[in-house]
Amino acid sequence: MEMKEFAPDKNLLQMSQPAFQNATAEVVPRMASRATVPLLLLLGLLLIFLKLSQKKATLPGPSFCLGIGPLISYGRFLWMGIGSASNYYNEKYGGIVRVWIHGEETLIISRSSAVNHVMKKGHYISRFGSKHALQCIGMNENGIIFNNNPSIWKQTRSYFAKALTGPILQRTLAMTVESTRDHLEKLLGGNNNTTKVDVLLFLRAITLDIANRLFLRVPLHEGEIVAKVQKYFDTWQSLLLKPDIFFKFKCMYKKYEKAAQDLQDAVEELLLKKQQELRDTEKLHDITDFATDLIFAQTHGELTPDNVRQSLLEILIAGPDTMSVSIYFMLLLIAQHPEVEKKILEEIQTVTGKREVQNNDLQQLKILENFINESMRYQPVVDITMRKALKDDMIDGFLVKKGTNIILNLGRMHKDDFFLKPYEFSLENFTQSVPHCYFRPFGFGPRSCVGKYVAMVMMKGILVTMLKQFTVHSDNGNNLQNIKYIHHLSFHPNESQTLQMTFIPRNQAED
């Protein structure tokens, strides 16, 4: 069989030629480059898109407009007060708004996710406010409330934390009941008659006395100190956001300086009394108090004398500033809602009978606790709190630069749709359990209210002791809706109006 000679295909031959190879080498890159350009473009677009989506979303709020925006927003804060202006902006622009105070970027936050983010993180432990103002009232790098030096604040806070928990917390209820009873007796002068009461003044005296019994324990003139605390608070509120130029004119802030100095001097005097008492005492009380701890810390060089005086001043003003107004609002609500009063009273009678309320009872007073929570939600006293960002951060998708001022609008956050009746006073708002993230009347996290446990115990103790003895009526037709308010650093009644209430002994009310 003849072997057929293998004849390679012509095309194959051509393909094996160098000339063909060259042609292919040219065509392939050309084809590739045609495909690469759109691919690279696509990739570029994708990268830009990714970058943009990671970059800050624009913060809602008034526009900068050649600096007019910052001027208007600062003016609004000075004119309306911090609380009112914050509500205005949150209502207009939503749960996160960017404005300017003092020319500095300031966020007002009422959205609960963002509020909780700020409260939880350690880089928001500073507050903001005019340094001159803080110096004038003694809070600059001293005390705790507006101390913006993180290391001094941390050290000082440990003394407050010790004083407001543990054995002192255990004694709070007994001291509260004792003080409330003493003040009621003094007020009525031994008679069990219907009495007209300047309630705010009365509650301030009680809360100051409780603070003295718990933290200082020296005789003091309540009326005098209460009046000084009021002026100090007005000064703090009036100066906090003032422009630097204001402090260049002594004549403009002289009266404020005097008000601050008056309270500082009074506290200094109390400290001297306490030091003297410690020198004279051979055996210290079984449980030392806040003032004693501060004095020892000063002796050991741990705290400066200015810090000791300011810390004592702050623990004495914290109660009268917050709790007296909170309880006044609660008494107004009770007077307006007899059905709520009836429920609270029935519970008190069931749990305590004829005896005084005791620590073990507190857990069982559920309706009272719901009432206190609902009152603080519906008509809060401390409805904003001020912080500063100590480093760059993202909050709910918005870039927040280091140094940004932050106002947490807790009052507005508490009107969230989560609540059954957000804009009404109703115990139903607390009948189902409320997740903490929706309700933070004392703040939360490292810079939260260090007195929150003591505050709850005091409010329960004062209310139970008063309500067991009296029913309250509001005079002049005053109610929460028609009295005039000042809404600045806190939300409180304008005291140029008469805020009397009538206390009617229960046995007479029932006749």
Annotated binding residues: 449
Q: Closer to ligand HEM at the Cβ: 70 or 499?
A: 499
Q: Closer to ligand HEM at the Cβ: 105 or 314?
A: 314
Which of 145, 266, 294, 331 contacts ligand HEM by CB under 6 A? Answer: 145
Q: Closer to ligand HEM at the Cβ: 247 or 313?
A: 313
Examine residue 385 and tell whether it contacts ligand HEM (CB under 6 A): yes
- Pull the structure tokens for residue 120: 């939880």
Examine residue 61 and tell whether it contacts ligand HEM (CB under 6 A): no
Examine residue 216 and tell whether it contacts ligand HEM (CB under 6 A): no
CB 390 within 8 A of CB 123: yes
Residue 114 CB, shortest distance to ligand HEM, in Å, is 14
Examine residue 441 and tell whether it contacts ligand HEM (CB under 6 A): yes
Residue 228 CB, shortest distance to ligand HEM, in Å, is 17
Q: What does R_g of the chain's alpha carbons equal in angstroms?
A: 32
288-293 own/partner pairs: CB under 8 Å, 24+ apart: 289/163, 289/168, 289/214, 289/215, 289/216, 289/217, 290/159, 290/160, 290/162, 290/163, 290/168, 290/214, 290/215, 290/216, 290/315, 291/215, 291/216, 291/217, 291/218, 293/159, 293/162, 293/163
Q: Which stretch binds ligand HEM (CB under 6 A): 7-15, 291-299, 438-446, 462-470?
A: 438-446
Residue 157 CB, shortest distance to ligand HEM, in Å, is 5
CB 97 within 8 A of CB 503: no
Examine residue 466 and tell whether it contacts ligand HEM (CB under 6 A): no
Which of 226, 294, 295, 455 contacts ligand HEM by CB under 6 A? Answer: 455
CB 325 within 8 A of CB 158: no
Q: Which residues are annotated as a binding site for heme?
A: 449
Q: Which of residues 326-355 bind ligand HEM (CB under 6 A)?
A: 326
d(CA 256, CA 234) in angstroms, rounded, equals: 8
Longest CA pairwise span in the chain (Å) = 143
Q: Closer to ligand HEM at the Cβ: 136 or 413?
A: 413
Q: Could you list the beta-strand ranges (E) of 297-341.
A: none
Q: Closer to ligand HEM at the Cβ: 318 or 400?
A: 318
Determine the straight-line distance between the first and last CA of the chain, rounded to whole angstroms. 139
Q: Which of residues 275-314 bind ligand HEM (CB under 6 A)?
A: 314
Q: Which stretch binds ligand HEM (CB under 6 A): 79-87, 94-102, 248-256, 321-329?
A: 321-329
Examine residue 212 and tell whether it contacts ligand HEM (CB under 6 A): no
d(CA 204, CA 59) in angstroms, rounded, equals: 42
Examine residue 320 and tell whether it contacts ligand HEM (CB under 6 A): no
Q: Name the residue with tokens 């029932």.
A: 510
Rule CB under 6 A: which residues touch ligand HEM?
A: 119, 144-145, 157, 160, 314-315, 318-319, 322-323, 326, 376, 381-382, 385, 441-443, 447-451, 454-455
